[in-house]
Amino acid sequence: MDAFSQMIIDAVEKTKNAVVKINVFKTVKGKLRPAGSGSGFIFSSDGLVFTNSHVVHGAEKIMVSLLNENEIEGIIIGEDPDTDLAILKIYTEGYSVAKLGDASQLQIGQFVIAIGNPYGYQHTVTTGVVSALGRTLQTQSGKLVDNVIQSDAALNPGNSGGPMITTDGDVIGVNTAMIQGAQGLSFSVDINTAKEIAEQLIHHGKVFKAYVGIMLQEVNINPKVKQHFNLSNKRGLFVTRIEPESPASRSQLQEGDIIINFNGHPVNSTHELFKELAKKEILTIVDISVIRHTEMLNFTIAPLELKQVH
C-alpha cells in the first residue's frame, strides 16, 4: 500500500463511525412517506449531530442510521437556513464522535476528504484539494452563506451534511449544497462558523445574525499598501457583489473594495466578520474601513437583523 493511500484510509478510519445517514419522512395523502435523505456526523459525546438545514427542513420524522446499521429517531434541536446548518440529537450508544478541527489553519491546495451517503450509497469517500477559502456562496434559495470552503472533492445529492476532513481526520467543514450545473466544484461551511452557529442553536434554538448584503472573497493585501497604511491585516475581504436594497447598497461601499476593518476590529477573514455580525449590539451605525485602488477610505454602515430582510 502506498503511503498516500494509507494516509486517506487512516483519516477515514478515525471519522467514519461518527458519520450517519439521515432519512427524512413527511406526510403525503395522510401517510408518512420517505421524503429524501442526506448525511450528518456526530460531534459531541451526548449525541449531537451536524447536518444541513435543507436536508431536515419541514421533516415530520427523522431516522438516523449509524454505520453499525443501528437506526434511531433524531430530534431537531435547531436549524439555521442562512448557513444551511441544522443540529439533531440522538439518544443511543455505540457511536464515535468526530474530532472538530480549526478551519483557519486551512491552506489553498491542501488535501481534503469528504464522507457521505450520495444517492443512498452509504459511506462513500471522495477526495480533492481546497480550491478557495472565505467565499460567500449564494444558495438555490437566494440566501448568502459566508465563510464557505470551495474544493474539488466530488459531492452529490445525499452528501449534504457530511463532514469534510483533513488527512489527520479532523473535520474542517460541513458539506453543503452543490452549485447546480457547476462541474467539479463543491462547498462546505467552515467548521469554525459551524461551531458558533451550533452554540447559538443549542442554547437559544435560533441564531442571531446581522446582515449587510455583500458577497466576499478573502484576498491577500498588497505588501506596499499594507506598509503605507501601517495595517495589521494579513488579508482583507474583497467585495465581489453588493445586494440591491441592502445596508451595503445604502452605504458608500462599492464592489471591488477590500474591507480591512469593521466595527473597530481588523477583519482578515469572513469568519472574523461573521463574529462581529453575530453580536446583538451590532444593530447600530458601525465604522468600516476599505482599500479602494490605492486609497484607504473610512465610512459607516448600518447592519440590519437578518429576519427583517427575508
**Catalytic residue set:** 54, 84, 160
- Give the position of cell 459531492: 155
Instruction: Please report how the helices 270-277 and 191-204 are oriented relative to each other, as an axis angle in degrees rounded to 10.
Output: 20
Distance, in Å, from the CA atom of 130 to the CA atom of 187, rounded to the nearest integer, reads: 10
Distance, in Å, from the CA atom of 285 to the CA atom of 288, rounded to the nearest integer, reads: 10
- DSSP 3-state assignment of 183? coil
Residues with Cβ within 8 Å of 136's Cβ and at least 6 positions away in sequence, in order, are: 144, 145, 146, 147, 148, 214, 215, 216, 217, 240, 241, 270
Do the Cβ atoms of 47 and 18 come closer than 8 Å? no
Distance, in Å, from the CA atom of 201 to the CA atom of 203, rounded to the nearest integer, reads: 6
According to DSSP, the residues that pair with 217 across neighbouring strands are 238
Ramachandran area for residue 285 (φ above 0: left; ψ -120 to 50: alpha; else beta): beta
DSSP assignment string, 122-168:
SSEEEEEEEEEEEEEEE-TTS-EEEEEEEE-S---TT-TTPEEE-TT
According to DSSP, the residues that pair with 112 across neighbouring strands are 128
- Give the position of cell 480591512: 260
- DSSP 3-state assignment of 252? coil
Residue 306 CB neighbour total at 10 angstroms:
17
